[in-house]
Amino acid sequence: MVAERKPEAPRLGVINLDGLGYPDTIDLPDPFSGPPPEPDEPSGNFINRSFWPFPVAYAIAAGTWGGELAEGQQAAIESVAEAAERLAPHCDLIVGNCGGMYYARRLIKTRTPALLSALELLPYALESSTLPVGILTMSKDFTEKMLKSMHAGDPGLSRLRIVGVSDQPAWGSINRDWYVRKPRISPEDLRREILEVCLRERDAGAFKNIGSIVLECTAMPQFRQDVVAALRLPTWDIAAFAKGLLGA
């Protein structure tokens, strides 16, 4: 059994997909150490330690990079829960580095609080207003499928307005070659595209009459301020929530 730490400062655990370039530090003598991010690693990525204002450890959820998690395969879902178990003794809070990890919500049995996906914030968003709630996600089809499988018959589903960004050039590249492409996908291109989508949907689309918005994809919180400015709406994201919970 691993001895549970009680560090002086809050410590975060991040569950990563099983993809090229994702750090896996949990089995190191010091899980909060490990090699620094590559010089060109965007500062807004969860795997870049500088994004977090406290020590962070990473654990890979094996078998989750391809379509396994998107298809809701049981082995991939269980792998997310296993990664949470590995992080739990060392951390004060655990977050998932992919909105699709929401599939594993019911399997999490750790004493350490875990937020696998920004979709866990949906109850707060739905209860905070009588208006519909927007969800900005990588794939609209995937998010709809996941929510329907997890919440079949829930009347709250009818109040959701889901918009995907995978049809945008830069955002569509993330799933294909984000960590092997040189040069990296430009954060400025991602920012420009997400703002174009938000403004389009605000003026004549799904976000025209909503009360708040949830950023499902973990590549989106880095653009939170831009989204708030564009939509003038309360914006829920897992990174801001996690930072607040740990006192940042």
| Residue-wise pLDDT tens digits, 196-215 | 999 999 999 999 999 999 99
In a domain, residue 128? The reply is yes
pLDDT in tens, 173-187: 887 655 555 567 889
Contact 164, 138 (CB under 8 A): yes
Phi, psi for 57 (deg, rounded to 5): -115, 150
Is the pLDDT at 15 greater than 90, yes or no? yes
Residues 123 and 218 in one domain: yes
Domain boundary among 116, 131, 148: 116
- Answer yes or no: do 87 and 123 share one domain: no
Looking up residue 135, the CATH number of its domain turns out to be: 3.40.50.12500
pTM for this predicted structure: 0.92
Domain membership flag for residue 246: no
- 151 shares a domain with 123: yes
pLDDT in tens, 68-101: 888 889 999 999 999 999 999 999 999 999 999 9
Q: Would 4 be classed as within a structural domain?
A: no
Could you tell me if 123 and 188 lie in one domain?
Answer: yes
Task: Answer yes or no: is 229 within a domain.
Answer: yes
Contact 113, 194 (CB under 8 A): no
pLDDT, tens only, 122-160: 999 999 999 999 999 999 999 999 999 999 889 899 999
* Residue that wins the pLDDT comparison between 40 and 241: 241
> In this model, does residue 63 exceed pLDDT 70?
yes
Give yes or no for residue 67 having a pLDDT over 70: yes
Rounded percentage of the chain residues whose pLDDT exceeds 90: 78
Measured distance CA(95)–CA(113) in Å, rounded? 9
Written as one letter, the residue type at 1 is M
Q: DSSP letters of 13-68?
A: EEEEPS-TT----TTSSSTT--PPPPTTS-TTSTTSGGGSSS-EEEEE-TT-SSST
pLDDT of the residue at 2: 42
Q: Does a structural domain hold residue 83?
A: yes
* Long-range pairs, 188-194, Cβ under 8 A, ≥24: 190/219, 190/223, 191/223, 191/226, 193/165, 193/168, 193/169, 194/136, 194/165, 194/168, 194/220, 194/223, 194/226, 194/227
**3-class SS at 187?**
helix
Q: 99 with 127, same domain?
A: no
In the chain, % of residues over pLDDT 70: 93
Burial class of residue 136, CB neighbours in 10 A (0-12, 13-18, 19+)? buried
Q: Is residue 64 part of a domain?
A: yes
- pLDDT > 90? residue 25: yes
- What mean pLDDT value characterizes the chain? 91
Residue 243 lies in a domain: no
Q: Give the structural domain span for 220.
A: 119-237
Same domain, yes or no: 31 and 134: no
pLDDT at 6: 46
**Domains in the chain: how many in total?**
2
Phi, psi (degrees; rounded to nearest 5) at 148: -65, -35
Q: Which helix (DSSP H) or strand (DSSP E) does residue 96 occupy? A: strand 93-96
Q: What is the pLDDT of residue 187?
A: 92
Q: Do residue 137 and residue 190 come from a single domain?
A: yes
- The whole-number pLDDT of residue 3 equals 39
197: CB partners within 8 A, 6+ apart = 136, 163, 165, 168
123 lies in the same domain as 112: no
Same domain (yes/no): 111, 123: no
Of 116, 143, 175, the residue at which a domain comes to its end is 116
**Residue 104 shares a structural domain with residue 156:** no
Would you state the structure tokens that stand for residue 98, as one six-digit string? 């992919």
Question: 124 and 209 in one domain?
Answer: yes
CA 192 to chain centre: 20
Cβ of 163: how many Cβ atoms within 10 Å?
19
101 and 54 in one domain?
Answer: yes
3-state secondary structure at position 184: coil
